[in-house]
Amino acid sequence: MPDRQQIYAKVVDLIAPFNKKGVAITEATRFAQDLEWDSLTVLDFVANIEDEFDVIITMNMQAEIETIGQLVDALQRLQDGK
Amino acid sequence: MTDPGIEGTAAQIGPNSADLFSKFDPLIQQREELLASGVTDPFNLVMERVESPTVAICNGRRTILLGTYNYMGMTFDPDVVSAGHKALDEFGSGTTGSRVLNGTYGGHKAVEQALCDFYAMDHAMVFSTGYQANLGIISTIAGKEDYIILDIDSHASIYDGCALGNAQIVPFRHNDVEALEKRLRRIPEGAGKLVVLEGVYSMLGDVAPLQEMVAVSKAAGAMVLVDEAHSMGFIGEHGRGVAEAQGVIKDVDFIIGTFSKSVGTVGGFCVSNHPKFEILRLVCRPYVFTASLPPSVVATAATSIRKLMDSADKRAHLWENSKRLHAGLRQLGFTLGTDEPQSAIIAVIMPDLETGAAMWEALLQEGLYVNLARPPATPAGMTLLRCSLCALHSEEQVGEILDMFAAAGRATGCIS
């Protein structure tokens, strides 16, 4: 099972192709405000995350996730729940 | 505002209170900028007279209608109109009540029977609008522990049905069978699953690969709901929609539809063979807590639905119209939403809202009405001129329409 640092590193890798503006990534980076992603970008990114970790991130969960750190926390919970 | 007595009477906003309308400022500004360029407001058109399903008078000008959902041209059908007159005379102007209290008349049962006959299904439940049909069915049947898996390009009424309920919502990429299958596979074992699809997607007029999608959904043990609002009456041998045309209607658990398109009036419905379906009449809030449709509306709907059962000639003519308009627009150099005509909707893709609005107005001046569609209704931030054909558009009218597109397209620089 990957630890939090490994999950974070993988998430950062998966953000890169969608980070068109080259925004510096930290745990506190926000998807909507900082990365300025639209709904289609979010859909594609979430699909890649779901494929990588073999999980489902429902829209209900997405509504609670604002920052990269929160996404990593959610992924860790989903992995632990397996 | 024209009445000077009304102007300026809005309650004052105090220095410490936030104006709840501030959130609309960006849209207000975008609208003002658009109108300042001098174009007619595309979202404020008034039809002064309606001559037929295909012609109305707008701004005093005779205008061909190419942006209605009157696919089968039933709005002026003499039998339909006279059924409405008769019901108005015999049952009055409205029911003033819920379907489960005093709002079920003979006509409501008759239109539900017409739907059962039309779809060859056991149960039909009629709502006051198509929007409420999606809102009611989706929010009621999927509970907190259940999963709704839906196409990302689903209609607002489907998303609002999800928002009204409290199920887990899982979207997948538009018309992507593999994406649907993957998500179904990851849903926890034993959880309830509802897959929500549309037959025709109304913005680009493209059709869903229902054959494959219904198969993977059933293999995963999911129930399937298909919204056939834009295909009823037109697509499929009996006009039952895309699920019929692709041979999977037997595996669809719920079909949602509307009376405000091919049927030619207003109202919504769900048909199903589920043995416990009738219980929904007691637990579905958008069905219970609203007034039922007026008697004249259900009478016109029932008459229209029965006439749509054998309208094969009209269906064939509508396909001819769609193919001809699609090919003609393509030849003129317009970019269209689909490579081939897949429905009665043909979407012309505009480079941006300003050009779209200018083209829309140029067409209106030529005497043609189409829909200007923009985000958030459209996918991927597109601006579209949506053309929807009617079975009663004549060959000559389709020719006129193409001439108008050529003239307006050249005048606005959309085509050379």
Rounded to the nearest 5°, which phi and psi values hold at B221?
Answer: 80, 25
Q: How many CB pairs under 8 A join A and B?
A: 32
Q: What is the pLDDT of residue B1?
A: 42
**Chain B partners of A54 at a C-beta cutoff of 8 Å?**
186
> B226 and B252 in contact (C-beta within 8 Å)?
yes
Per-residue tokens: B324: 């001809």
Residues of B at the A interface, defined by Cβ within 8 angstroms: 147, 152, 162, 168-173, 179, 182-183, 186-187, 379-381
What sign does the dihedral B220-B202-B254-B193 (CA atoms) show? positive
User: Mean pLDDT per 10-residue run, chain A (82 residues)?
Assistant: 88 94 93 89 93 94 95 92 71
Please tell me the distance from the alpha carbon of residue B360 to that of residue B282, in angstroms, as a whole number: 45
User: What integer pLDDT is reported at residue B226 of this predicted model?
Assistant: 98
Report yes or no: A63 at the B interface, CB cutoff 8 Å.
no
Nearest residue, CB atoms, A56 vs list B170, B380, B381: B170
Q: What does the pLDDT look like over B202-229, one tens digit per residue? A: 999 999 999 999 999 999 999 999 999 9
Side by side, the strands of the sheet bearing B123-127 are: B123-127, B268-272, B254-258, B223-227, B193-198, B147-151, B168-172
3 state DSSP class of B30: helix
- Determine the pLDDT at residue B209: 98
**CA–CA dist B74, B315 (Å, integer):** 13
**Chain A residue closest to B159 (CA)?**
A59
Amino acid B137: pLDDT:
98
Residues in chain B closer than 8 A to A82 (CB atoms): none
- Pairwise CA distance, residues B257 & B77, whole Å: 21
Query: Closest residue of A to B188, CA-based?
Result: A56
- Residue-wise pLDDT tens digits, B43-99: 888 999 999 999 999 989 999 999 999 999 999 999 999 999 999 999 999 999 999
CA B95 to each of CA B91, B99, B106, B114: distance values in angstroms, whole numbers, following the listed order: 8, 9, 11, 20
Q: What's the predicted TM-score (pTM) here?
A: 0.93
The string of pLDDT tens digits covering residues B149-191 is: 999 999 999 999 999 999 999 999 999 999 999 999 999 999 9
Q: Out of B169, B179, B186, name the one closest to residue A59 (CB).
A: B169
A8-31 as b/e: b if 16+ CB within 10 A: bebbbebbeeebeeeeebeeebbb
* In chain B, ranges of CATH 3.40.640.10 domains: 78-309
How many separate helices (H) and strands (E) can be counted in chain B?
A: 14, 16
**Cβ separation of B183 and A50 shorter than 8 Å?**
yes
pLDDT tens for residues B345-370? 999 999 998 899 999 999 999 999 99
Say yes or no for a CB contact (<8 Å) between A50 and B186.
yes
User: What integer best gives the mean pLDDT of chain B?
Assistant: 95
Q: What is the mean pLDDT of residues B244-251?
A: 98
Partner residue facing A40 (CB), from B182, B186, B380: B380
- SS3 of B61-78: the string is EEEEECECCCCCCCCCCH
Using a 10 angstrom Cβ sphere, with 0-12 exposed, 13-18 middle and 19 or more buried, the burial of residue B21 is exposed
Give the tens place of pLDDT for each residue, B93-146: 999 999 999 999 999 999 999 999 999 999 999 999 999 999 999 999 999 999
CATH topology of domain B40-72+312-411: Aspartate Aminotransferase, domain 1 (3.90.1150)
Distance from CA of B180 to the nearest CA of A (A): 11
List Cα–Cα distances, B91 to B79, B82, B123, B294, B298, in angstroms. 18, 14, 25, 9, 11
pLDDT at B4 over 60: no
Tell if the CB–CB gap between A60 and B168 is shorter than 8 Å.
yes
Q: What is the pLDDT, as a whole number, of residue A82?
A: 66
Confidence at residue B238, expressed as pLDDT on a 0 to 100 scale = 96
**Single-letter amino acid, residue B61:** R
Q: Which CATH number fits domain B78-309: 3.40.640.10, 3.30.43.10, 3.40.718.10, 3.30.390.50?
A: 3.40.640.10
Q: How far is A5 from chain B, CA to nearest CA, in Å?
A: 24
CB-based contact B381 A38, cutoff 8 Å:
yes
Residues of chain B with CATH 3.90.1150.10: 40-72+312-411
Model confidence at B333: pLDDT above 80:
yes
Assign B16 a pLDDT band (cuts: 50, 70, 90). confident
Distance CA B307, CA B74 (A): 9
Q: Is pLDDT above 90 for B11?
A: no
Q: Phi/psi of residue B410, each to 5°?
A: -70, -40
Size (chain A), residues: 82
CB contact under 8 A, B170 and A55: no
- Chain A residues with CB inside 8 Å of B379's CB? 40
Q: How confident is the model at residue B241 (pLDDT cuts 50, 70, 90)?
A: very high
User: A50 vs B179: CB contact, 8 Å cut-off?
Assistant: no
Between B168, B173, B182, which is nearest A58 by CB?
B168
Chain B residues lying within 8 Å of A38, measured CB to CB: 381
Strand-by-strand arrangement of the B371-373 sheet: B345-350, B383-388, B371-373
Does A36 touch chain B if contact means CB atoms closer than 8 Å? Answer: no
Task: For residue B196, name the pLDDT band (cuts at 50, 70, 90).
Answer: very high
Nearest to B268, CA basis, from B236, B301, B308, B296 = B301
Work out the pLDDT band at B379, boundaries 50, 70, 90: confident
Cis peptide before B275 (omega within 30 of 0): no
A52 interfaces chain B, CB cutoff of 8 Å:
no
**B92: alpha, beta or left, given left = phi > 0 and alpha = psi -120 to 50?**
left
Q: Is the pLDDT of residue B290 over 90?
A: yes
Q: Say which residue, B328 or A21, is predicted with more confidence.
A: B328
Is B177 in contact with B209 (CB distance < 8 Å)? yes
B186 Cα to chain A: minimum distance (Å): 6
Token pair for residue B358?
A: 């200018």
Are B219 and B210 a contacting pair, CB within 8 Å?
no
Q: Which CA distances in Å does B60 have to B53, B56, B365?
A: 17, 9, 11
Q: Dump the DSSP string for B326-364.
A: HHHHHHHT--BSSSS--SSEEEEEESSHHHHHHHHHHHH
- In order of their start, the domains of chain A are 4-80 (1.10.1200.10)
Nearest CA in chain A to B187: A56
For A33-81, the DSSP string reads TTS---HHHHHHHHHHHHHHHT----HHHHTT--BHHHHHHHHHHHHHT
Cβ-based contacts of A47 with chain B (< 8 Å): 172-173, 179
Kindly give, in sequence order, each residue whose CB lies less than 8 Å from that of residue A59, ignoring residues fewer than 6 positions away: B162, B169, B170, B171
Q: How many Cβ atoms are within 10 Å of B330's Cβ, its own excluded?
A: 15
Name the residue in chain B with its Cα closest to that of A82.
B188
CB-CB under 8 Å, B182 with A58 = no
